[in-house]
Amino acid sequence: MSVAVLAGGVGAARLLKGLVEVVEPARLTVVANVADDIVLHGLHISPDIDTVVYTLAGAIDPERGWGLAGETWQAMEGLRRYGGVDWFNLGDRDLATHLFRTQRLSEGASLAEVTAEIVAAWGLDLRVLPVTEDPLRTMVTVVDEGEIGFQEYFVRRRHDVAVRSVRIDGAERARPAPGVLEAIDGADRLVIAPSNPIVSIGPLLAVPGVREAVVARRDDTVAVSPIIAGAALKGPADRMLAELGHEASVVGIASLYAEIAGTLVIDEADADKAAAVEELGMRCLVRPTVMSRPGVTVSLARAVLGLEG
């Protein structure tokens, strides 16, 4: 079975950990969000791609949920001595990834090429495609401060500020990266990972051609709700949904995804909302989805791919 996954960061990475257990990694394509990429200190940083890669490589720091386990922080400490920009933490080992990516891009490699090189260097067999190689940036308008970059909202402000609107800068002119539409068209199953629908999945769908390609595969598309019992396990998805006028619930997720996905997987904690989800025209699967619990990652992956029982 070939599978394509629309992916953000942490939630997607966890589901992918399960998916690579139940499908051959070589038949798995990740369409990765790059709208939260940031250029800082001259370095091109792709947080979502790195979280996916580090997680699948078993190298992610399990406590923080980002960056590498066993990390050291000499460069950041030095940066603080200079009074440099220090709100975006970069470990010494993690820096290697950004140094390598930036150097390869400066040599003329495409973002897809350098991503493939990074994936291979970690010994992974799956394919990770940036959704686009064109500039795509999530911009967040927050109260008081106006429009700021996504990482300024997410990291610098610790997503602890009300969001008025989200704009995906560059979306009109962005083209899907080579292989993205083919992966969506050709997969036996398309998965929308339990990532933030606004700022992780939203940018993927904002790239012209991607949403249409996903809609065309609606019957084979399964989304996993990132909202469980009204809350996001991690990150600001619940709050952001409410602030932008959506319902912070599996029903709100279903409203957002009904056009593009035939099936929504919701957590057992939301079993009472399955009927409301189905009323929106989606098939609803009720399963354990909290992947920090033993066994859930793989069982969820099997459910998503219709491989249960």
Residues engaged in binding a second copy (CB under 8 A): 39-44, 72, 74-79, 81-85, 91-100, 102-106, 117-118, 121
Q: Which is nearer to a second copy, 122 or 271 (CB)?
A: 122
Q: Which is nearer to a second copy, 46 or 297 (CB)?
A: 46
Q: Which is nearer to a second copy, 72 or 292 (CB)?
A: 72
Q: Which is nearer to a second copy, 100 or 298 (CB)?
A: 100
Whole-number minimum distance, CB 60 to a second copy, in Å?
A: 15
**Secondary structure string (H, E, C) spanning 105-116:** HHCCCCHHHHHH
Whole-number minimum distance, CB 134 to a second copy, in Å?
A: 19
d(CA 48, CA 193): 12
d(CA 120, CA 194): 25
Encode burial over 202-219: b for 16+ CB neighbours within 10 A, e otherwise.
bbbbbbeebeebbeebbe
The answer to whether residues 126 and 119 touch, using CB atoms and an 8 Å cutoff, is yes
Pull the structure tokens for residue 199.
Answer: 């700022």
Residue 189: strand pairing partners: 3
Whole-number minimum distance, CB 197 to a second copy, in Å?
A: 32
CA-based nearest residue to 101, from 92, 93, 112: 112
State the burial class of residue 130 (Cβ atoms within 10 Å of its Cβ: 0-12, 13-18, 19+).
buried
CA-based nearest residue to 155, from 32, 47, 44, 292: 47
Whole-number minimum distance, CB 54 to a second copy, in Å?
A: 12
Whole-number minimum distance, CB 130 to a second copy, in Å?
A: 17
Pull the structure tokens for residue 241.
Answer: 């949904």
Q: Which is nearer to a second copy, 76 or 276 (CB)?
A: 76
Q: Which is nearer to a second copy, 8 or 47 (CB)?
A: 47
Whole-number minimum distance, CB 80 to a second copy, in Å?
A: 8
Sign, Cα dihedral of 42, 102, 106, 183: negative
The answer to whether residues 51 and 9 touch, using CB atoms and an 8 Å cutoff, is yes
Whole-number minimum distance, CB 210 to a second copy, in Å?
A: 29
Q: Which is nearer to a second copy, 107 or 172 (CB)?
A: 107
CA-based nearest residue to 277, from 265, 289, 268: 265
Whole-number minimum distance, CB 177 to a second copy, in Å?
A: 20
Q: Which is nearer to a second copy, 137 or 189 (CB)?
A: 137
State the burial class of residue 123 (Cβ atoms within 10 Å of its Cβ: 0-12, 13-18, 19+).
exposed
